C-alpha cells in the first residue's frame, strides 16, 4: 500500500509539473486571416508568389527547402507560375552536376527537375557560418513547429528590445514568441527589404504573411485537393444517409402495415 501511495504521489507530481510547463509555454500568437483555412480554403496565388520572393531574397541565404523542386512552382495548387517563369527561375541558379565524360564535376543552370539549391554544402558548413546554430530546413517547418502558421507569422514580427533583467549573450536576440524568448537569428524582415512586383507594400506584417503562406504550401502542397476531396466525401455521405433514411422508412412502413 505504501509503495502504491508513493507511486501515486510521483505520478501526480509529474502531471503537475507538465501542466505548469504547458501553462508557462502557452502564448497568444498574432492572428490574421488565412485564405487556406477551413473546408473551402484555398491558397492566395499572389501571396504565394510574393512569399516565394521573400524566401528567395531573404530566407534562402541561410535556410534550405530540400524537398521542393523548381517544377513545383508551376504545378496546380501552388504559386502557379507559368512553366516559362518556373524555367527562368530555375535557370537563375547553378547546380553541381556530373561527372562528365572526363570524370569531372561541372556546374550548369538548374532545370525544373532540380531540387531547390542549398545555401550550404553541408550541415557543418551551415553551423560554421551561423555561430554554431543550424538554420532549419523550411520545407515542412510549419508542421514541425507547435502553433504552425500562427507561430511562424508571429515569430517574424516578435523581435523587440529585451525587458529589463534579461541578459542576452552576444549574437542572441530577444523574441517574445520564441520558445525561451531567445533566438540566434537576427530579425530577417524590415519594411521595404524587398520590392514586390505587383505593387503591394512590403511591410513586415505583409511579408510575414506572404512567406508563411508559402511555407504552408510547401508543407502541404496538396491541401486544396484534400479540401475538394473532403467536400465531395461530405456530399456523398449526406446523399447516402438520405437514401438510407428513406429506404429504411419505406421498409418499416411495410412492416407496420402488415402488423
Which residues span the domain enclosing 230? Answer: 224-259
pLDDT band (50, 70, 90) for residue 241: confident
The candidate with the shortest Cα–Cα distance to 82, out of 45, 29, 51, 108, is: 45
In a domain, 190, yes or no: no
Q: Say how far apart CA 27 and CA 108 lie, in whole Å.
A: 46
Residue-level pLDDT at 23 = 44
Q: For residues 176 and 29, what is the distance between their CA atoms, to the nearest angstrom?
A: 10
Structural domains counted in the chain:
1
Domain assignment present for 60:
no
Give the separation between CA 30 and CA 85, rounded to whole angstroms: 34
In a domain, 206, yes or no: no
For residue 38, give the DSSP letter: S
Cα-to-chain-centroid distance, residue 220: 8
Question: And the C-alpha cell for 39?
Answer: 473546408
Question: Does the residue 61 lie in any domain?
Answer: no
Q: Which residue has the higher pLDDT, 139 or 240?
A: 139
Asked, for residue 164, whether it belongs to a domain, the answer is no
Asked if residue 249 belongs to a domain, the reply is yes
pLDDT reported for residue 39: 82
Q: How confident is the model at residue 236 (pLDDT cuts 50, 70, 90)?
A: confident
* Cell matching residue 160: 523587440
Residues 6+ apart with CB under 8 A from 162: 168, 174, 181
User: How sure is the predictor about 225, in pLDDT bands with cuts at 50, 70 and 90?
Assistant: confident
pLDDT in tens, 127-180: 998 888 899 999 999 998 889 999 999 999 999 999 998 989 988 999 999 988
The SS3 call for residue 253 is helix
**pLDDT at position 40:** 87
Average pLDDT value for residue range 14-35: 66
Of 187, 155, 152, 182, residue with least CA distance to 169: 182
Separation between Cα atoms, residue 59 and residue 79, nearest integer Å: 17
Asked whether residue 235 is assigned to any structural domain, the reply reads yes
Amino acid at each position: 500500500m505504501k509503495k502504491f501511495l508513493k507511486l501515486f504521489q510521483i505520478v501526480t507530481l509529474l502531471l503537475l509539473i507538465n501542466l505548469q510547463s504547458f501553462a508557462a509555454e502557452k502564448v497568444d500568437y498574432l492572428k490574421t486571416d488565412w485564405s487556406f483555412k477551413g473546408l473551402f480554403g484555398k491558397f492566395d496565388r499572389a501571396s504565394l508568389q510574393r512569399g516565394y520572393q521573400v524566401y528567395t531574397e531573404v530566407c534562402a541565404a541561410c535556410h534550405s527547402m530540400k524537398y521542393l523542386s523548381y517544377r513545383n512552382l508551376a504545378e496546380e495548387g501552388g504559386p502557379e507560375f507559368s512553366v516559362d517563369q518556373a524555367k527562368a527561375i530555375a535557370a537563375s541558379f547553378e547546380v553541381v552536376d556530373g561527372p562528365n565524360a572526363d570524370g569531372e564535376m561541372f556546374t550548369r543552370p538548374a532545370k525544373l527537375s532540380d531540387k531547390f539549391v542549398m545555401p550550404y554544402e553541408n550541415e557543418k558548413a551551415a553551423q560554421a557560418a551561423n555561430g554554431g546554430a543550424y538554420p532549419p530546413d523550411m520545407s515542412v517547418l510549419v508542421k514541425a513547429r507547435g502553433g504552425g502558421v500562427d507561430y511562424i507569422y508571429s515569430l517574424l514580427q516578435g523581435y523587440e528590445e529585451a525587458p529589463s533583467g534579461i541578459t542576452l549573450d552576444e549574437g542572441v536576440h530577444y523574441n517574445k514568441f520564441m520558445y525561451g524568448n531567445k533566438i540566434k537569428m537576427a530579425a530577417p524582415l524590415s519594411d521595404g527589404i524587398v520590392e514586390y512586383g505587383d505593387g503591394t507594400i512590403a511591410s513586415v506584417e505583409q511579408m510575414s504573411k506572404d512567406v508563411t503562406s508559402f511555407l504552408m504550401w510547401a508543407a502541404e502542397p496538396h491541401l486544396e485537393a484534400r479540401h475538394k476531396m473532403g467536400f465531395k466525401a461530405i456530399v456523398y455521405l449526406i446523399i447516402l444517409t438520405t437514401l438510407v433514411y428513406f429506404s429504411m422508412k419505406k421498409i418499416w412502413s411495410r412492416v407496420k402495415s402488415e402488423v
